Chain A
Amino acid sequence: MTALVTFGIYVFGVFVLAWLANRAGRGKAFASEYFLGSKNIGLWAFAFTYAATVASGGSFMGFPSYIYSHGWVCAWFIAGYMISPMIALGLMAKRLNQVGRIAGAITVPELLRRRFESRPVGDLATFLVVFFMFFFLMAQFKAGAEIMATLLKGVGPYEAAVVALESLVSGLPWLGTANGDYLLCLFVFSVSVILYTTFGGFRAVVWTDVMQGLVMGLGVLLMLVFALVQTGGLRAANERLAEMTPPRSVVVKLERTDGSDGGEVRVPRGAWVLLAEEDGGSAVRLKTSAKLPAGAETSEEIEALEITTPREREGLAARVDADLPVLARAAGERAVYAYGDGQEGAYLRAPGPSRSSPGGFLGVMLAISFFAFWNFSGAGQPSYMVRQMAFRDTRILRRSMVMIALYFALIYFSLVLIFTCARVLLPGMEIESDRVMPETAALLTANAGVPWLSGLLVAAPFAAVMSSVDSFLLLVSSGVVRDIYQQSINPNATEKQVKRLSYLVTLVVGLLGTIAVIRPPQFLQDLIIFASAGLGACFLVPMLFALYWARTTAAGMIAGMLAGGVTVLALYLAGRIVTGNFEEYLLCGLHPFIWSVLFSTIALVATTLLGKPPAESIRRRYFGKSA
């Protein structure tokens, strides 16, 4: 409960900042202020809004989940971040800001539209931003709801509200299949973020990003100290990790231990239940909730997780809830990891254990792909580009690059250390690994005797999610208001009309994002990688050419954007057909983003060279005399 108070204070702070931002923006041109903070963002604000937007729910929820599930190989997975502040900011920030100012643009599609004096270029860019950004939004909403659900677990009024909501939606199509805790938290989270983003606009997003960035940094540092102390240091943690082998999945039936005339028994998701001696003893963790109706002796079949490391199994009995009158019996074969089963040290080496891939989690070619992916797809994200259009001068850019490089080194490497330690401290999180961050925060603070601090630590990933979701929300609504309504539907719209529509669209887009994740996809990070790859594929190469090659034409831009986007979509579709899951097809072992860069470049250059050069006036305007 004390954690909840800390957390509540944090959320209150966010709302105060949004209100102050709204006041600060009064009296300025609405669209430029609401969507770009009047292009007057200073050092701290620029550095933190950039860092906080990059370090999204993916970094604080999805990435920890990967580290927990696959081990040290994730340090290689994320290694591209070592150079990403230089690449993602340096590659185009200066030119982007300059060209944005010459064009008088507020959004990325608007910049492209004006740079090429072509409406189709702007319209296509708007469509692609809105399409791929929506997947980002979905991922962030899921992450926000998961964090809240973890934080609120065990709080009386909340648990009562969950039960009430579950009875309310029970039997309803679609809604009724979602977990009550997730549904309630999704609603609360969505309403809060949508409200403060709608109310405060870009300046609110930037200001709250500064606060959220500081909270994230502090939270990670505290978690690192707690994790290292509680595992006995990094060496001790990794020596334990070296003994570990991946868990197995087992289908079980729950059997009553209180006699056949007992009442209804409900066993929550995540509960540890003793496994019958003849099935191997120890305890298993349930992947879904289970119910034994009054009079029934056994439950239906449910999936559970079985820990295989001998030292871990010894301590599991203590985690079993003695008040639950049930025993688990295996009802089928065990499903083992496709790579790493029974292999000690798998969590310390590449390619890392994998449930589904026989080649392991991260092959060499894929690791190299990700080294390019994090840098160049990062540079190609419109949500980062729009920030690069907002800083005041290049001194701010240079200093921000230093701050962000230090910040990323602190955050990302520390996350690897924290969550390899978390594997040692918190067994069985594979059943809901996207929740490992808040669960670890709660455990570390409880062990340290400062449970109230868990609110602040949980606020770190929550801050990451909020700071990303608000940015993406604003980007999508700016696409609709500025690039569709103002450009194509009503170019003479009054400021009042634009203002009202901006509020309305931000609200509607947020609600649609919420509805889309009522039944969320299983893996957060997969959605984020898909959306990053799609946006990077559509915008990286075309934007680089737009900024650095004066010869680029509007037709070349359209060809480049389409080729990049279609390549990513086609390879994800191929992945879906081949594996049956939402995952990419690795042509020659390389991530689709790499192929998209190649095809986008070929399409853009070929189409440009086949067409007429752009007018000299455009060339002079954006590149000067001797370019």
Chain B
Amino acid sequence: MTQPEPDPQPTEDLAASFRQSRKEFLFMLGAWAFFAVWTGGYNALYAVGREDEPVALVCGMPSWAFYGIALPWALALATTIWFAMFFMKDTDLGEDGEERA
């Protein structure tokens, strides 16, 4: 051991906040996988290997970029806002160990 140990937080609170953090962690991994499959899958199908076709434009941008990037980006933004405002819970982070030691 290299430093004097500060007092830990009350262990019940810590365990509960740990479980909540883990729940949020799993949600985020799921959200990431969903958007990875959307952008990766759509663009692999519609953005690559179409050298002989003219590129269609939607809202002024290539159609694959609109449906495979801009649209999921808008939904990811909405998901992030919902996650941060409604799903993620506030937690008591505790006092700083060094200050208490």
- Residues on A close to B: CB < 8 A? 32, 39, 72-73, 75-76, 79, 82-83, 85-87, 90-91, 94-95, 97-98, 101-106, 113-114, 117-119, 122, 233-235, 237-239, 242, 343, 345, 348-351, 363-364, 367-368, 371-372, 375, 393-395, 397-399, 401-402, 405-406, 409, 413, 417, 487, 547-548, 620-627
Option from B15, B61, B72, B85 in Cβ contact (under 8 Å) with A627: B15
A360: nearest residue on chain B (CB-CB)? B48
Looking across the interface, which residue of chain A has its beta carbon closest to that of B16?
A: A624
Residues of B within 8 A of A101 (CB): 93-97
Instruction: Look across to chain B and name the residue whose beta carbon is closest to the beta carbon of A348.
Output: B55
> A91, B25: Cβ atoms under 8 Å?
yes
Please indicate the chain A residues that have their CB under 8 angstroms from the CB of B5 in the complex.
621
Given contacts A72-B61, A114-B2, contact A364 B48 (CB under 8 A): yes
A-B contact pairs, 12 of them (CB 8 A): A82-B72, A94-B24, A95-B18, A104-B3, A349-B50, A375-B32, A394-B88, A397-B88, A413-B69, A623-B14, A625-B15, A627-B14
Most buried by A among B16, B57, B85, B98: B98
Q: Which residues of B contact A79 (CB under 8 A)?
A: 39, 69, 72-73
User: Which of B11, B21, B80 is A625 in contact with, Cβ under 8 Å?
Assistant: B11
Supply 10 further A-B pairs (C-beta < 8 A) apart from A90-B83, A349-B64, A368-B36. A79-B69, A82-B39, A103-B6, A117-B1, A119-B2, A238-B62, A348-B62, A349-B48, A364-B43, A626-B15
Contact of A87 among B3, B6, B28, B68 (CB under 8 A): B28
- Contact for B57 among A238, A368, A375, A413, CB less than 8 A: A238
- Check B18–A627 contact: CB distance below 8 A: yes
A122-B3 Cα distance, complex, nearest whole Å: 12
Residue of B with least CB distance to A89: B84
List B contacts of A620 (CB < 8 A): 8, 11
Beyond A98-B17, A343-B51, A394-B90, is A104–B96 a contact (Cβ under 8 Å)? yes
In-complex Cβ contact of A398 among B25, B39, B64, B90 (8 A):
B90
Chain A residues positioned under 8 Å from B69 (CB to CB): 75-76, 79, 82, 413
Q: Judging by beta carbons under 8 Å apart, are A103 and B97 in contact?
A: yes
CB atoms of B6 and A401 under 8 A apart: no
In the complex, the answer to whether B73 meets A413 with C-beta atoms within 8 Å is: yes
Chain A residues, Cβ within 8 Å of B96: 32, 39, 101, 104
Residue ID in chain B nearest A393 by CB atoms:
B93
Q: Which one of B19, B84, B98 contacts A32 once the chains associate, using CB atoms below 8 Å?
A: B98
Least CB distance, A220 to chain B, in whole angstroms: 16
Interface flags for B73-101 (1: CB within 8 Å of A; 0: not) read 11011011101110011110111111111
Nearest A residue to B81, CB-CB: A402
Chain B positions within 8 Å of A117 at CB level: 1-2
Q: Are B2 and A487 in contact (CB under 8 A)?
A: yes
Are B2 and A76 in contact, with the CB atoms below 8 A? no
